[in-house]
Chains A and B, each alone.
Chain A
Amino acid sequence: MWGIEVIFKGRNLIRLLEGLGAALEISLISVLISIPIGIILGVLMAGKNPVIKAVLRIYLDFIRIMPQLVLLFLVFFGTTKVWGWDLSGEVSSVIVFSMWGAAEMSDLVRGALKAIPKHQYESAQSLGFTPLQTKAYIIIPQCVRRLIPLSINLITRMIKTTSLVLMIGVVEVLKVAQQIIEANRMTSPNAAFGVYLFVFVLYFAACFILSLIARQLERKWS
């Protein structure tokens, strides 16, 4: 019916799930790299050094204004041509998504730091906290609460963005779907409907669960 039966033929289901796994793996690695870099950049952005801030601002704005697919092309086709090195699609994706994720994360961190009213620093100081203690016991715990739901949202965005890696030839769930549809062209001409619907559902399931968790935490901590 509508080509849905193709999904359950042979190893197709496992192959699709493996494809999703490849996409999730790229997002997971990128998130793990981008969160610490993003935190460092965000703290620098919230700081006072005007030169560092100006340089970072240009870098971050460029990354955030360019479509992620353009960034993928720049790294995958551009840097390989200019510097003559050899990058696989997977490595290019991790580089791009880490840079992009770090830029987004740094903006979240900067926002969270700026959102803490000045009187909290002053009150802490008047209570005899050293600057280090103020950060450790007062500022950071509040920032973390604010940041965790936002970071989970960033992960869902990362997963959605991972679908782009198809365009630079990485084999992920969409590529596997194309292969399955091609292979079953004769026996199930309608496979495109069922298989793409299934891919849609797979992405939805992955992102929806994370969105729900983020929303719960946001409600709990706001």
Chain B
Amino acid sequence: MDTQVLQEYLPLFGEAALLTVGLGAAGIAVSIVIGLVCSLVQYYKVPVARRLVQIYIELSRNTPLLIQLFFIYYGLPKLGIKTDPTACGIAGLAFLGGSYMAETFRSGLEAVDRVHSESAFSLGLNRFQTFAYVILPQAVSTSIPPFVANVIFLLKETSVFSAVSLMDLMFTAKDLIGLYYNTTESLFLLVVFYLIILLPVSLLGTLLEKKVGVPDVGD
């Protein structure tokens, strides 16, 4: 491996890593919002909306992100819905992540025994108080390990963004390989940067799991 080349490529990969993290963070933030709304709709069994959420979740979970991105980026403009690559990447990631987050939050909410809300009602708490003080804190603690797994999964999925010409880590690596044929150096940096992004999240997940992994509160 040529250290000269490594030094030369380092800033390029650094920039690309920032884009990967930025797009990933934005997409994950939107997926959390979508996931929260969808999981509440399912938890409270809102009529009609519940069916729509169900259809969305099935569509999103049973198709690959790459296909979703192609459809959004190349297909939708034919109907007049144009998106730039950044918006498309975030929208695609959010479309995919929303359903994974929804499933995680829903199973977290459902893991809280119904007895808890009944007890809260009989103690005189209203619906909102019951949700905010009794259900939510318990649901959050059970949801954390699968939530971190989702975050890692979604960050990994950003690797297909290069297909819609976003200059992320994958794009940079492929571009440099194609231009200068320094395959070893490019791939080495690619792996290193993905490790820098993903290892801390993974370690944080393990830590949190040990710390808050008390799913049986109140048993």
> Residues of A at under 8 Å CB distance from B?
2-3, 61, 65-70, 73-74, 77-78, 81-82, 156, 160-164, 166-167, 174, 177, 181, 189-190, 192-193, 195-197, 199-200, 203-204, 207-208, 211
Contact with A along B184-207 (1 / 0, CB 8 A): 100100110011001100100000
**Beta-carbon contact of B183 and A207 below 8 Å:** no
Q: Which of B25-33, B42-50, B154-162 contacts A (4 or more CB under 8 A)?
A: B154-162
> Residues of B at under 8 Å CB distance from A?
58-59, 61-64, 66-68, 70-71, 74-79, 152, 156-160, 162-163, 170, 173-174, 177, 183-184, 187, 190-191, 194-195, 198-199, 202
**Beta-carbon contact of A199 and B195 below 8 Å:** no
For B61, the closest partner residue in chain A by CB is A211
| Those 7 A-B pairs whose CB atoms lie nearest each other, nearest first | A67-B159, A207-B62, A193-B78, A196-B75, A163-B64, A160-B64, A67-B156
Residues in A neighbouring B74, C-beta threshold 8 A: 181, 192, 196
**Beta-carbon contact of B190 and A164 below 8 Å:** no
**Beta-carbon contact of A204 and B159 below 8 Å:** no
Question: How far apart are the CA atoms of A33 and B78 in the complex, in Å?
Answer: 41
Question: Could you name 24 residue pairs across A and B whose Cβ atoms are closer than 8 Å?
Answer: A65-B152, A65-B194, A65-B202, A66-B198, A67-B156, A67-B157, A67-B158, A73-B173, A73-B190, A74-B187, A78-B183, A81-B183, A163-B66, A164-B64, A167-B160, A167-B170, A192-B77, A192-B78, A193-B78, A196-B67, A196-B74, A197-B75, A199-B71, A208-B62
